[in-house]
C-alpha cells in the first residue's frame, strides 16, 4: 500500500490526482496517523508555506523546518510545494534539506547541483497568468508584436531594488532615453499604493481591494487576478521590446514570475536584468531566447554591475537598430515561447517530474 500525507485540499484535488499513483493508495491528513500507520511506501506532500506572506511571524513559517525533518524521517520521499523562491530559502534549506526531500518551486538554483537536483520546477505564476489570458483571447489578439512602434522599450520596473535602480539610471543617462516608457520609484508603504503617483493603469482594470502592492487583487474584463498579471496593452503597443527586471536579482537562483510571462504572452523580445544564469535556466525549461539577434553572453557574467552594463549595451544596440530589421527575425522564437507558455499545464509539468522521482522509491 502507498500512504500519502497531505496538508492541503489543493493537494487532494489537483496534485495527487495528477500523479496517477498505483492502487492501493490512501491519503491521510493527520501526521501522527501517517507516521504510525504501516505502509509499503510513504510519500509526504506539503504546501505548508504556500502563498504565505513575507512576515516571518506568519503561522506558516513557524515550525516549518521541524515539520520537514519529521516528514523526512517518516517518509520514503517528501515533496514541499511553494510558489515563491528567494534567497532566504538558503537559510531554510541549511536547516532542513534531506536527500529524500524535493522542493517544487518556480525556479532553479545556480552552481549547486546537489540542491538543484532536488528542485522540481512548478510555474505557478506562469500557470495563473496564462489562465487569465486564455480567458481573454480578444485581448491577446490586440497585441501587435511585429508592427514597428513609436518607442523601443517598456521599462515598467516596479518597486525600488538595486537592479532596477541600475536600469532607471542607465535610461536617464542614455542618448536613447526618449525611446523608453519608464515607470519607477516610490518607497513601499503598508497603507497605500507605493506606485500611485506613476503607475500606468490599463483600461478595463478595476481594484477589488485597497491596492497596496501589485500582488493585490483586481478585476480585469471580468477576470479576477493580481494587478501585476495585467499586461499593459497600450504600453506594449507603443513599444517594441521589454526589459524584464524580475522580483529577485540574487545570483544564486532564478525565480520566474508573471514579469517573465507577460512579454512572452505578448510575443516580445526581452532583455533581462536579474541574477546570473537567468536565461540559461529559462532555456532549460524549453524556452528560447535571443542570442544571435543580440549578444546574450551577459547572462553568464557573475558580477552584477558588469552583467547589467553588458545587458544595457544590448538595449541600446536595439534602440539604435531599425525595428523593421529585428521584428521579422524574432518571429519564430517569440511564437515558440508563446505556444510553450500558453499550452503547457504547468502543474501537470511539475507533477510529471514528481511522479518520476516517486518511481525511484518503488522496488
- Assigned domain for 356 exists: no
Do residues 133 and 221 make contact, with C-beta atoms less than 8 angstroms apart?
Answer: no
The reported pLDDT for the residue numbered 338 is 98
Do residues 81 and 44 make contact, with C-beta atoms less than 8 angstroms apart?
Answer: no
113 and 214 in a single domain? The answer is: no
pLDDT class of 88 with cuts at 50, 70, 90: confident
- Assigned domain for 222 exists: yes
Residue 56 pLDDT > 70: no
96 and 32 in a single domain? The answer is: yes
- Assigned domain for 91 exists: yes
Q: Considering only 7-16, 55-64, 135-144, 238-247, which range has the smallest mean pLDDT?
A: 55-64
Residue 53 pLDDT > 80: no
Q: Of 90, 121, 152, at which residue does a domain stop? A: 121
- Assigned domain for 273 exists: yes
- Assigned domain for 54 exists: yes
Do residues 261 and 267 make contact, with C-beta atoms less than 8 angstroms apart?
Answer: no
Could you give the number of structural domains in the chain? 2
Residue 191 pLDDT > 90: no
Residue 193 pLDDT > 50: yes
Enclosing domain of residue 9: 2-121
pLDDT class of 186 with cuts at 50, 70, 90: confident
The reported pLDDT for the residue numbered 85 is 92
pTM of the model: 0.93
DSSP secondary structure, 193-225, as one string? -TTTTT--PPTTEEESS--SSTTSEEEETTEEE
11 and 84 in a single domain? The answer is: yes
- CA separation for the pair 177, 328 (Å, rounded): 24
76 and 131 in a single domain? The answer is: no
274 and 213 in a single domain? The answer is: yes
62 and 170 in a single domain? The answer is: no
Instruction: For residue 28, list its beta bridge partners.
Output: 5
281 and 204 in a single domain? The answer is: yes
- CA separation for the pair 132, 225 (Å, rounded): 7
Q: Considering only 57-71, 173-187, 188-202, 221-235, which range has the smallest mean pLDDT?
A: 57-71
Q: Considering only the C-alpha atoms of the chain, give the largest distance between any 2 of them, rounded to a whole number of Å.
A: 70
- Assigned domain for 349 exists: no
CATH code at position 34: 3.40.50
Q: What is the pLDDT of residues 328-361, one digit of tens each?
A: 999 999 999 999 999 999 999 999 999 999 999 9
pLDDT class of 194 with cuts at 50, 70, 90: confident
192 and 66 in a single domain? The answer is: no
- Assigned domain for 363 exists: no
Q: What is the pLDDT of residues 202-261, one digit of tens each?
A: 999 999 989 998 889 999 999 999 999 999 999 999 999 999 999 989 999 999 999 999
- Assigned domain for 362 exists: no
pLDDT class of 51 with cuts at 50, 70, 90: very low
196 and 306 in a single domain? The answer is: yes
250 and 201 in a single domain? The answer is: yes
Q: What is the pLDDT of residues 287-322, one digit of tens each?
A: 999 999 999 999 999 999 999 999 999 999 999 999
210 and 299 in a single domain? The answer is: yes
Q: Of 121, 154, 189, at which residue does a domain stop? A: 121
Q: Of 93, 121, 149, at which residue does a domain stop? A: 121
Residue 55 pLDDT > 50: no
7 and 150 in a single domain? The answer is: no
The reported pLDDT for the residue numbered 197 is 82
Residue 61 pLDDT > 80: no
Q: What is the pLDDT of residues 95-153, one digit of tens each?
A: 999 999 999 999 999 988 889 999 999 999 999 999 999 999 999 999 999 999 999 99
Amino acid at each position: 500500500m502507498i500512504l500519502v500525507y497531505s496538508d492541503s485540499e489543493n493537494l487532494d484535488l489537483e496534485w495527487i490526482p495528477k500523479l496517477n499513483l498505483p492502487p492501493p493508495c490512501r491519503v491521510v491528513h493527520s501526521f501522527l496517523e501517517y507516521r504510525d500507520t504501516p505502509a509499503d511506501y510513504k510519500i509526504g506532500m506539503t504546501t505548508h508555506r504556500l502563498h504565505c506572506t513575507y512576515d516571518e511571524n506568519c503561522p506558516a513559517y513557524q515550525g516549518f523546518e521541524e515539520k520537514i525533518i519529521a516528514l523526512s524521517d517518516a517518509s520514503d520521499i517528501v515533496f514541499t510545494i511553494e510558489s515563491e523562491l528567494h534567497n532566504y530559502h538558503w537559510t531554510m534549506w541549511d536547516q532542513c534539506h534531506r536527500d529524500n526531500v524535493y522542493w517544487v518551486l518556480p525556479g532553479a538554483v545556480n552552481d549547486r547541483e546537489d540542491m538543484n537536483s532536488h528542485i522540481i520546477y512548478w510555474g505557478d505564476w506562469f500557470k495563473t497568468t496564462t489562465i487569465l489570458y486564455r480567458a481573454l483571447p480578444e485581448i491577446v489578439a490586440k497585441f501587435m508584436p511585429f508592427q514597428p512602434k513609436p518607442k523601443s522599450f517598456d521599462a515598467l520596473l516596479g518597486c525600488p531594488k538595486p537592479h532596477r535602480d541600475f536600469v532607471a539610471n542607465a535610461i536617464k543617462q542614455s542618448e536613447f532615453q526618449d525611446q523608453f516608457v519608464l515607470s519607477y520609484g516610490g518607497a513601499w508603504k503598508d497603507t497605500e499604493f507605493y506606485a500611485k503617483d506613476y503607475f500606468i493603469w490599463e483600461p478595463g482594470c478595476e481594484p477589488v481591494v485597497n491596492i497596496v502592492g501589485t500582488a493585490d487583487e483586481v478585476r480585469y474584463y471580468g477576470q479576477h487576478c493580481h494587478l501585476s498579471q495585467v499586461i499593459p496593452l497600450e504600453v506594449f503597443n507603443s513599444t517594441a521590446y521589454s526589459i524584464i527586471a524580475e522580483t529577485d536579482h540574487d545570483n544564486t537562483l532564478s525565480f520566474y514570475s508573471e514579469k517573465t510571462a507577460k512579454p512572452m504572452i505578448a510575443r516580445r523580445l526581452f532583455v533581462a536584468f536579474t541574477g546570473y544564469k537567468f536565461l540559461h535556466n529559462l532555456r532549460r525549461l524549453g524556452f528560447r531566447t535571443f542570442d544571435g539577434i543580440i549578444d546574450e553572453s551577459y547572462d553568464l557574467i557573475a558580477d552584477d554591475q558588469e552583467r547589467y552594463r553588458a545587458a544595457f549595451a544590448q538595449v541600446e544596440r536595439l534602440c539604435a537598430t531599425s525595428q523593421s530589421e529585428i521584428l521579422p527575425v524574432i518571429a519564430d522564437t517569440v511564437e515558440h515561447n508563446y505556444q510553450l507558455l500558453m499550452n503547457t499545464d504547468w502543474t501537470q509539468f511539475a507533477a510529471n517530474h514528481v511522479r518520476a522521482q516517486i518511481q525511484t522509491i518503488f522496488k
